Amino acid sequence: MKIRKYQEKDKKNLQYICIATAKPTNSEKQKELLTTLYNDYFTECESENVFVAANDDDDAIGYILCSTDFKKYRKTMKKDYMPKVWKLNKSKWLLTQLEFIIETHYAKRFPAFLHIDILDGYQRQGLGHKLMDALMSHLREKGVPSVMLGVSADNEKGINFYKKYGFYEVIRGMGICKMAYDVPQQQGEGTQSV
């Protein structure tokens, strides 16, 4: 198992991981919604800020996706991805727009934004921490001071993981918990190795 930078060949695997780690669905529309909301912007517009965990065949089995500039992320999402979301699910479109308003309020303090997912059979083996470490050292090199994320308020596993890594809760509402992390400025400072 290794952590490496994203490559173009990983795109389909990342879409698969995005769908497989969400609430189970057989709906093609729901699958498209998931990848449009949580995957495609990052691999198509900021792939330099994406890291994957790969198995011995070099196939991605987990990822961490990041935008280092929330304002750019929101602008491109609204222009190029949200019209598709509108067609697929209008209430999710509305909820996402509301989330953008809340996140915009915090974007000055936490300019970066991330998503992380690992396939079921590879969880709780330290890969989440390793992906986080790879991203945090990348953000430190780029001079990005802090990062934010959104997690379902009922995702106990996810919230436990983020807290263990050092994330703290910023705001909770509409079934979503926003958490943040201050990128350590010294190598190793603040991170917990596995």
DSSP state of 59: -
Stretch 114-133 residues interacting with ligand COA (CB under 6 A): 116-118, 123-129
* Site pattern 46..75 for ligand COA (x: CB under 6 A): ------------------------------
Alpha-carbon separation of residue 63 from 1, 50, 58, 101, 149 (angstroms): 13, 7, 13, 26, 14
| Token pair of 131 as six digits | 């992906």
User: Which residue lies nearest ligand COA, judged by its C-beta?
Assistant: 128
Which one, 119 or 144, has the nearer CB to ligand COA? Answer: 119
Which residue among 10, 18, 19, 21 contacts ligand COA (CB under 6 A)?
21
Closer CB to ligand COA, 111 or 158, in the complex:
158
Q: Binding segment for ligand COA among 66-74, 96-104, 113-121, 181-189 (CB under 6 A)?
A: 113-121
- Judged by beta carbon, residue 48 or residue 154, the one nearer ligand COA is 154
Nearer to ligand COA, 25 or 160 (CB): 160
The H or E element that residue 147 is part of is strand 146-152
By CB under 6 A, what part of segment 134-193 binds ligand COA?
A: 151, 155, 157-158, 160-161, 164
- Give me the half-sphere count of Cα atoms (radius 13 Å) on the Cβ side of residue 8: 0
For the record, the structure tokens of 138 come out as: 């990348």
Question: How far, in Å, CA of 91 to CA of 72, rounded?
Answer: 24
Contact 127, 165 (CB under 8 A): no
Q: Is 107 in contact with 70 (CB distance < 8 Å)?
A: yes
Q: Which residues bind ligand COA (CB under 6 A)?
A: 21, 116-118, 123-129, 151, 155, 157-158, 160-161, 164, 194
